Amino acid sequence: MVSSQFRPESSVVAEVRPSPNHGERNASPDMIVLHYTGMPSDEDAISHLCNPATEVSAHYVVLQDGYIVQLVAEARRAWHAGASSWAGESDINSRSIGIEIANPGHDHGYPAFPKRQVAAVTALCRSILSRHRIAADRVLAHSDIAPSRKRDPGEKFPWKALADSGIGLWVKPTPMTQAGPVFTLGDSNPAIAETQALLASFGYAVTASGHLDGATRDAVAAFQRHFRPQRVDGNIDESTLATLKDLIAARDAHPSASKRGSA
């Protein structure tokens, strides 16, 4: 029986509030997954993550003022990812550390993330990276691993700021222009198959059919939220494809990249 009490695992944690919602891991954590709470009340969000009836939790919650609460010990499997996959793996909860960032989300106005909160997320991720071997391309959004279900933490989250601090992978998005074709839901084209193959090689759960189906549209939108946030529409345009190619090149050149999704 694992005790519900534990000591904070990082000096940046202000409080431990143990959640009963956790289990045994089936693998060592090699991913960080960022979420937003998606609730107007931060206290309600923490209570939700600690309520045994909800069967959801996360390892950490970062409030707007930078206050960090740890809910689950990192050695335990928190229940934050839900039905999800990445690079052919489906038990993301076993492989990841989940961080909930307090923000009401798209359904409640979706405000910007305060700088103090982003600084706290950065410090927390740095602390996690000091304890676990996590490749740059495996610091992900909830929307990356569950693109048809989730939008968090969304296009307003400053992924570049984290990457500038050595957390995660980022390339400068290719500027959007009117040049080149734009493929939308239902289209078929070899360029769509190329994009699908590249998305799959990075880790998204798509099949290179050459047909822009719903799963592909959702994966493209998730990619855009994370890596090309200027426009999130799920369409394949030259900017999206070029940014994706640059990202894969950066992953392959990065000293800590996993390469596990490489073609």
pLDDT for 168 equals 97
Q: What confidence tens digit (pLDDT) does each residue in 3-32 have?
A: 458 999 999 999 999 999 999 999 999 999
pLDDT (0 to 100) of residue 178? 72
**Could you read off the pLDDT of 75-124 as tens digits, one per residue?**
999 999 999 999 999 999 999 999 999 999 999 999 999 999 999 999 99
pTM for the whole structure: 0.95
Whether 238 is catalytic: no
Q: Return d(Cα 262, Cα 246) in angstroms, integer.
A: 14
Residues found in the chain: 263
DSSP state of 34: E
CB 255 within 8 A of CB 179: no
According to the model, what pLDDT value does residue 3 have? 40
pLDDT of residue 257: 67
Which element (helix H / strand E) includes 119? Answer: helix 115-131
The alpha helices in 157-231, defined as continuous H runs, are: 159-164, 190-202, 214-227
pLDDT tens, position by position, 180-223 = 899 999 999 999 999 999 999 999 999 999 999 999 999 999 99
Closest CA to 141 of 34, 261, 257, 29: 34
Domain assignments of the chain as residue spans, ordered by start: 15-164, 172-263
User: 208: Cβ–Cβ under 8 A, 6 or more apart, which residues?
Assistant: 193, 194, 196, 197, 200
Three-state DSSP at 78 gives strand
Residue 261 has pLDDT above 70, yes or no: no
Q: What is the pLDDT, as a whole number, of residue 44?
A: 97
* Contact status, residue 4 vs residue 57, Cβ threshold 8 Å: no
CATH code, residues 15-164: 3.40.80.10
Note the pLDDT of residue 254: 83
Q: For residues 62 and 42, what is the distance between their CA atoms, to the nearest angstrom?
A: 10
Average pLDDT over residues 61-84: 97
The token duo for 139 is 């610091």
Q: What would the mean pLDDT of 229-252 be, rounded to a whole number?
A: 97
Tokens representing residue 120 in the block: 């706290």
- pLDDT of residue 263 exceeding 50, the answer is no
Question: Which CATH number fits the domain 172-263, given the four candidates 1.10.101.10, 3.30.1360.20, 2.60.40.1120, 2.40.110.10?
Answer: 1.10.101.10
Residue 44 CA to residue 42 CA, distance in Å, equals: 5
**Which one of 55, 100, 155, 194 is the catalytic residue?**
100
| The predicted structure's pLDDT at residue 259 | 53
Rounded to an integer, what distance in angstroms lies between the CA atom of residue 74 and that of residue 77? 7
